[in-house]
Structure 1
C-alpha cells in the first residue's frame, strides 16, 4: 500500500457513541514522496552515529541509566507529572509528601524500562512483554486500579470528560486482541520489505490509535520505539527516546496523530516522526560526546589523589548511574568504612566534582552537578 493512499479506518456506531476501528497495517508499504526518503536517510545516519557510542565506549551502560531517567521524567511530564530530573534521582524520603505520587510514577517508568530491556535478551518484542511492562508502570501509582498488566475490558476515550464529549474514541474493547495481534505480527513480518523506522513510525501511530490500556498508553507507546529498535538490532543499547522531542513539540505531535485518523495523512506523521528520530539521535550523540569529555576531565582531576584515586574512580562509576549520593550510600556501595566514604566525598568536593545540596542538614546529599546538567537541557 502507498502511504499516500492510506485509509485509516472507519467509525462504528455503538449504543450512544461511535468508536474508531483502525485499518490493519501488517502489509507492505511504499511511497512516492521524496521528502520521506531524504528524512529517512538523515534519521538512519543520525541513529548510526548514536549507536556507534554504544559499540565503542567502554562501560556505556553507566551512562545509559541517566538516559532512562531522563526519558522517564519527560514521558511522565507529557502525562502531567511535575517531577524534575533533579528530583527523579533523589531517594523517596527526600521528596516532599505532596510530590511523592508524581515521583513514584517516574520511578515506576524507570523500573518498567529496565525490566523491558532486560527481558528483550530472552524474549522478542510482544504484547505479553508490553502487558508485563505496563503492570510495573502502574504498580502502586495513581493508575493501579485501571487493570495494570491487562488490555482494557471497557471503552476508553481521549479528551473530554466522558464518551459524550470525547475528542477521540478508540476501538471497542471486544476487538483489542485482534488489533494488537495484527500489530505484533507487523513488528516481525519477514515477508514485507518495510524499513525499520517506517515500521515503527506506523506502529506508534497504530498503538496510540488502538489505545489498548485504560491508563499509560502514551508512556507505553513511546517506550515501544526503543524496544522495537533494540529488539531488531537497530540499536545495541536503549539510547534513543523520543519523549523529549514529542514534549517540546506537543501540539504538533498530537496534531500529526489526529491528522492520520481524520484524513489519512500518514505522510505528515511519518515525516514528523523521522524528523524526531534525526533530531533526538543527533542530540543523544552530542550528549554522549559531552559525557566523554566530562569523564576525561574528571579522570584527570582525580589522578592527583594518588592512592585514593581507585576509590574515587569507583565513586564516579556510581555517580554516572545515579548522580546524587549520600555518605551512607557510598560506604555501602563501595564496601568501605564511613570515615573513608566521608574522605572521598571531601576529596571530590575539593576537586569541584561534587557539591553538597541539602544545606548541611542531617543525611546530607551530594550531587555530580556537571553531569546532571547534561540531561536537564
Structure 2
C-alpha cells in the first residue's frame, strides 16, 4: 500500500448512524514523501541514544519507575483526570477524598504498565496482553463495568453525548475481532519490509480508529507504543512514552488522526508521529543525563554523613523510585526504627535534599524536589 494513494476506509450505514470501517493494515507499505525518510532517520537516531542511556545508567529500573509515573499521570490527564504527579506518588490516605477516584485511575495505569512490561518477558505483544492490561486499568474505577479485559460487543463513539452528535463513530462491534487480529498479525509479520517506527505509527492510528474497548482506548493505545518498541528490541527498557507530546499538542494530535479517517492523509499522521518519537526520545535522553549528574552530586553529599551514609544511600534509592516520602515510608522500606528514619530526614533536610511539603505536625511528607522537577519541567 502506498501512502500517497491510501484509502483509510469507508463509512457504513447502521441504524440511525454511520460507523467508520478502516481497511486492514497487515501488508507492505511504501511512500514517495522524502520528508518521512528524514524524520524516520532522526527518530531512529534519537531512540538509539535514549536506549544507550538505559544500558549504561546503573540501576536504571529505579529511574524507569518515575518515567512510568509521569506517563500514567499525563496519559490519564488527557482523559480528564486531575491528579498531579506529586499526588500520584502519594499513598491513598494522603489524597483528599474528592480526588481519590482520579488517583485510583492513575495508580491503575501504573500497575497496568508494570504488569504489561513484566508479561512481555514471556508473552509476545498480542491482543491477549492488551486485554490483560486493560483489565488492570479498569479495576475498581469508572469504567469497571464496561467489559474490562474484553473487546466491546456494542457500539461506542468519540466526542458528543450520544451516537447522534458524536465527533467520530469507530468500527461496528462485529468487525472488531477481525480488525484486531489483522493488527496483531501486522506487529509480527516478517514477510513484509516495513520499518518498526512506521509500523507502530500505523498501529497507533489503527488501534484508536478501531477503538476496540468500551473505555480506556486512549490509554491502552498510547501504552501500545512503548510495548511495541520493547517487544521488538528497539528499547531495552520502557523509557519512552508519547503522552506528554500528545498532550502538549493535543489539537494537532486529534486533527492528525482525524485527517487520516476523513482525508486519507496518512502522510501527515506519520510525520507527526515520527516528530513525536524524535522529540520525546531526545527529551528522555536529556533527563537521563541530568539524573546521572544529580546522582553523582547527591551521592557525594551523603558520604559526609559518616556512619549513617549506608542508610542514606538506601534512602536515596527509595527516593529515586518515590521522591515523595513520609517517615513511615522510610521505616518500612529501609527496615529502620522511627528515630533512625527521622534522623535521616533531618540529615537530608540539612543537605538540601528533602523539603517538607504538608506543613503538618503529623503525617508529614517530604519531597526530593530537585529530582522530581527533572520529570515535571
Tell me the TM-score normalised to structure 2 length.
0.99
**CA shift at 1:331, angstroms?**
1.2
**2:257 counterpart residue number:** 257
Q: 2:23 is matched with which residue? A: 23
Indicate whether 1:111 and 2:120 are aligned. Answer: no
* Matched residue SS, 2:147: coil
Match of 2:141?
141
How do residues 285-324 of structure 1 correspond to structure 2 at under 5 angstroms?
285-324=285-324
State the match for 1:221 in structure 2.
221
Aligned equivalents of 1:5, 1:198: Cα separation in 2: 17
> Secondary structure of 2:375's match?
coil
1:89, distance to aligned residue in structure 2 (A): 0.4
Describe how 1:327-338 pairs up with structure 2 within 5 A.
327-338=327-338
Q: How many residues align?
A: 377
SS of match in other structure, 1:19? strand
Q: Secondary structure at the match of 2:325?
A: strand
Q: Distance in 2 between matches of 1:2 and 1:12?
A: 24
| 1:193-229 deviation line (CA, Å, top 9, x unaligned) | 1000000000000000000001000000000000000
Shift of 1:107: 0.5
Q: Tell me, in whole angstroms, the C-alpha distance in 2 between the residues paired with 1:225 and 1:109.
A: 15
Q: Which string of whole-angstrom CA distances, capped at 9 and with x for unpartnered residues, describes residues 319-354 of structure 1?
A: 100111111111111111111111111111111101
Query: What does residue 275 of structure 1 align with?
Result: 275
Matched residues in 1 for 2:264 and 2:335: separation? 59
Confirm or deny that 1:10 pairs with 2:6: no
- More displaced 10-residue stretch of structure 1: 358-367 or 251-260: 358-367
Report the equivalent of 1:43.
Answer: 43
The residue aligned with 1:88 is: 88
Residue in 2 that maps onto 1:201: 201
What's 2:150 paired with?
A: 150
Q: For each residue in 1:235-278, what CA deviation from the matched residue of structure 2 results, as whole angstroms up to 9, or x when unmatched?
A: 00000000000000000000000000001100000000000000
In 1, distance between residues paired with 2:358 and 2:15?
Answer: 58
Task: Tell me what 1:68 maps to.
Answer: 68
Using the TM superposition, give the Cα deviation of residue 44 of structure 1 relative to its aligned residue in structure 2, in angstroms: 0.4
For residues 361 and 90 of structure 2, what CA distance do their matches in structure 1 show? 15
| CA distance, structure 1, for counterparts of residue 274 and residue 167 of structure 2 | 26
> How far apart in 2 are the matches of 1:78 and 1:197?
23
Structure 2 residue aligned with 1:179? 179
Q: Cα deviations across residues 173-202 of structure 1 (Å, max 9, x unaligned)?
A: 011110000000000000001000000000
1:98 shift after superposition: 0.7
Structure 2 match to 1:354: 354
Deviation at 1:59, TM superposition (A): 0.2
Equivalent position of 1:56 in the other structure: 56
- Aligned-partner SS, 2:235: coil
Task: Name the CA distance, whole Å, in 1 between partners of 2:330 and 2:86.
Answer: 19
Deviation at 1:104, TM superposition (A): 0.7
When structure 1 is superposed on structure 2, of 193-202 and 328-337 the one drifting more is: 328-337
Alignment partners' CA distance in 2, 1:80 and 1:366 = 27
Please state whether the residue corresponding to 1:11 is helix, strand or coil.
strand
**Residue in structure 2 matched with residue 231 of structure 1 by the alignment:** 231
| Cα distance, 1:361 vs structure 2 | 2.3
Separation of aligned partners in 2, 1:290 and 1:351: 19
Unpaired runs of 5+ residues, structure 1, are none
Q: Give me the whole-angstrom Cα distance separating, in 2, the residues matched to 1:163 and 1:329.
A: 48
Q: Secondary structure at the match of 1:20?
A: strand
DSSP 3-state at the match of 1:21 = strand
Q: Secondary structure at the match of 2:303?
A: helix
Residue in structure 2 matched with residue 242 of structure 1 by the alignment: 242
Instruction: Indicate the residue corresponding to 1:374 in structure 2.
Output: 374
What secondary structure sits across from 1:10 in the alignment?
Answer: strand
Query: Cα offset for 1:376?
Result: 1.2
Correspondence 1:98 to 2:113: no
Q: Distance in 2 between matches of 1:18 and 1:332?
A: 56
